[in-house]
Amino acid sequence: MHQSLTIDFTREDEVEKLFPSKPLLSSRDASLNGIHLEYYQHTANEVPEHAPKQHLILINTQVSDLAQYEQTLDDRWQWDPLREGHVVVVPAEVRNRACWHTEHGYILLSLDPTIFMLRAVEWINSDKFDLIPHFASPDPLLHELGLALKKETESGNLNGQFYFDSLTAALMAHLLSHYTAQKGQLYQNAGSLSRQKIRQVIDYIHDHLSQDLSLAELAKIVHVSPNYFATLFKETTGVPPHRYIIQCKIDRAKKLLRDREKSLSEIAHDLGFSHQSHLTYHFKRLVGVTPKTFQRKQ
């Protein structure tokens, strides 16, 4: 009996057994939350049969009008036209192979099955949360989330860890709601965040602006799931949590610039920005001028 390759998509040497070229973009060295992102552009190619150790989400982003995509998932076979925005879902350990005849670009997300299971237990009102295979079909939300994750990876996490967490939480929630064996209802606590709870969160944010805060960290304060916390926070404050955090950091930066006691690089470090350029980008976007121009005018 033919034995499929078993591929660990977190290991570059194993992925090279499948694809004719290396990814143009990879988060392998900095991936978080159990998700790795890679972006490929391939000419016509045939991917041999293999079984991934991770859950795979393939999001097609650049496809020619004549593109055809042949795929086998376990013992099922399908050959269909391929379009931009079509998404393929391959659960861990599912035998699959693929073949295409024109050049196309795609985002490949690999999800750690253990972390996915932990999120499922936390979020979904069901005891059946195994991913089920899906041939290429349109999914506008996964397409949008994939493009946002790609852009964030290209920028070196310009918007911070919290934004990345928010994107991955939305991705996980969508997969659990639409791609599991029993499409369960995600847990949602009734009501919204009380004044006391939102004050706790806001105080925590202001006390920890020097850190790259995570979504799970803030959700834990009010005892809700990360994905639901993001929804509750926006309903309560009117803005997504990652935008609120960035605004708080910029407000603090303005004060520090007025004080003239620290350099711009020191301010960026003290506010949890991984690069001074990230502070400059967000400052100009929100204030309208660069930090140096702002400081000169004070």
Domains recognised in the chain with CATH numbers: 5-157 (2.60.120.10), 188-298 (1.10.10.60)
Band of pLDDT at residue 1, cut at 50, 70 and 90: very low
Give the pLDDT confidence of 155-206 residue by residue, as tens digits.
888 888 888 888 888 898 889 888 887 655 555 544 568 889 999 999 999 9
Give the pLDDT confidence of 222-244 residue by residue, as tens digits.
988 777 888 888 888 888 899 99
Q: Which residues pair with 80 in a beta bridge?
A: 69
Lowest mean pLDDT among 62-66, 111-115, 269-273, 291-295: 62-66
Give the pLDDT confidence of 47-83 residue by residue, as tens digits.
899 999 999 999 999 887 777 788 888 889 888 888 8
Mean pLDDT of the region 241-261: 93
More confident residue, 125 or 277: 277
Whole-number pLDDT of residue 24:
93
Contacting residues for 37 by C-beta, under 8 A, at least 6 apart: 25, 26, 27, 31, 107, 108, 109, 149, 150, 153
Cβ pair 209, 248 in contact under 8 A: yes
Whole-number pLDDT of residue 190:
45
Whole-number pLDDT of residue 102:
82
The percentage of the chain sitting over the pLDDT mark of 90, rounded to a whole number, equals: 44
Cβ pair 241, 227 in contact under 8 A: no
Whole-number pLDDT of residue 126:
57
Cβ pair 226, 169 in contact under 8 A: yes
Cβ pair 39, 24 in contact under 8 A: yes
The structure tokens listed for 131 are 């991913």
Band of pLDDT at residue 20, cut at 50, 70 and 90: confident
Give the pLDDT confidence of 272-291 residue by residue, as tens digits.
998 899 999 999 999 999 99
